[in-house]
């Protein structure tokens, strides 16, 4: 008898909780839409990562991030877009702009590599002991990779593939910047002709 009297009250309470949760998602979605900024959509996604609006929020943020990266125009901002959206709608435009920037940078050596760097084909014996720079090297100023060398990667789909050969660094592939112990910065992986 007591259960029969409590059942409608429990059902009403459960309905109220569910209805409030749904309306909160809708209210937050309407708010994100009205503000229409990266920050507003990210706040919505943080609160409701699995809502019916998640895919739409993510879809709306990508072109905003593209615009922001292009307006910033730095290799760091462009690489950040590539890291976040490796298959994004604007990847080709970002890669083209990144190449344009890197090739126009007169502070980067693009040919006649210094003696501390050897460019080698993948069939080279040392390639068996090569290593790729991990994601912590993407979109940063060149950071230490050991032995007085620094490097950074520009594209997550073309990480630097490197190996050590006595006192020289061997480059097999990837796109980015390598700085030698003498401070010479070398652009690798781009055809700047």
Report pLDDT for 38: 96
Q: Let me know whether 97 and 147 are in one domain.
A: no
Higher-scoring residue by pLDDT: 157, 11? 157
Nearest of 5, 189, 10, 158 to residue 82 by alpha carbon: 158
Q: Let me know whether 88 and 130 are in one domain.
A: no
Tens of pLDDT, residue by residue over 11-61, are: 433 343 444 445 799 999 999 999 999 999 999 999 999 999 999 999 999
- Domain presence at residue 48: yes
Q: Let me know whether 6 and 93 are in one domain.
A: yes
What's the domain count of the chain? 2
Report pLDDT for 5: 53
Global confidence as pTM: 0.83
Report pLDDT for 13: 38
Give the residue numbers spanning the domain of 142: 117-188
Tens of pLDDT, residue by residue over 85-103, are: 999 999 999 999 999 999 9
Report pLDDT for 1: 54
Question: What tokens were used for 2?
Answer: 């007591």
Report pLDDT for 2: 52
Q: Let me know whether 10 and 94 are in one domain.
A: yes
- Domain presence at residue 71: yes
Q: Let me know whether 6 and 100 are in one domain.
A: yes
Q: How far apart are CA 91 and CA 108, in angstroms?
A: 24
Q: Let me know whether 86 and 7 are in one domain.
A: yes
Burial of 129 (0-12, 13-18, 19+ CB in 10 A): exposed
Report pLDDT for 151: 98
What would the mean pLDDT of 157-172 be, rounded to a whole number? Answer: 96
Report pLDDT for 111: 87
For the chain, the 3-state helix, strand and coil shares in percent, each to the nearest 5, are 50, 20, 35
> Worst-scoring range by mean pLDDT, 14-18, 43-47, 68-72, 187-191?
14-18
Report pLDDT for 3: 53
Boundary (domain end) residue, out of 104, 139, 154: 104
Q: Let me know whether 71 and 152 are in one domain.
A: no
Q: What is the mean pLDDT of the chain?
A: 90
Q: Answer whether residue 131 shows pLDDT above 90.
A: yes
Boundary (domain end) residue, out of 104, 138, 155: 104
Q: Let me know whether 71 and 127 are in one domain.
A: no
Asked whether the beta carbons of 127 and 120 are under 8 A apart, the reply is yes
What is the separation, in whole angstroms, between the first and last Cα of the chain? 87
Vertex 171: Cα angle to 106 and 149 (nearest 5): 70
Q: Let me know whether 40 and 129 are in one domain.
A: no
Q: Let me know whether 83 and 169 are in one domain.
A: no
Give me the percent of the chain exceeding a pLDDT of 90.
87
Report pLDDT for 15: 42
Boundary (domain end) residue, out of 46, 76, 104: 104
- Domain presence at residue 160: yes
């Amino acid at each position: 008898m007591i259960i029969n009297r409590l059942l409608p009250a429990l059902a009403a309470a459960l309905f109220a909780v569910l209805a409030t949760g749904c309306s909160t998602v809708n209210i937050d979605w309407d708010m994100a839409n009205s503000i229409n900024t990266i920050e507003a959509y990210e706040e919505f996604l943080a609160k409701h990562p699995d809502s019916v609006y998640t895919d739409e929020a993510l879809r709306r943020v990508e072109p905003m991030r593209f615009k922001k990266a292009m307006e910033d125009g730095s290799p760091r901002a462009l690489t950040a877009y590539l890291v976040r959206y490796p298959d994004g709608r604007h990847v080709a435009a970002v890669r083209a702009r990144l190449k344009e920037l890197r090739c126009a940078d007169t502070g980067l050596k693009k040919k006649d590599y210094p003696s501390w760097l050897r460019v080698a084909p993948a069939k080279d014996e040392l390639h068996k002991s090569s290593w790729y720079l991990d994601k912590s090297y993407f979109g940063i100023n060149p950071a230490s990779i050991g032995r007085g060398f620094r490097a950074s990667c520009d594209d997550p789909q073309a990480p630097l593939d490197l190996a050590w050969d006595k006192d020289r660094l061997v480059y097999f592939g990837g796109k980015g910047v390598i700085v030698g112990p003498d401070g010479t910065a070398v652009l690798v992986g781009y055809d700047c002709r």
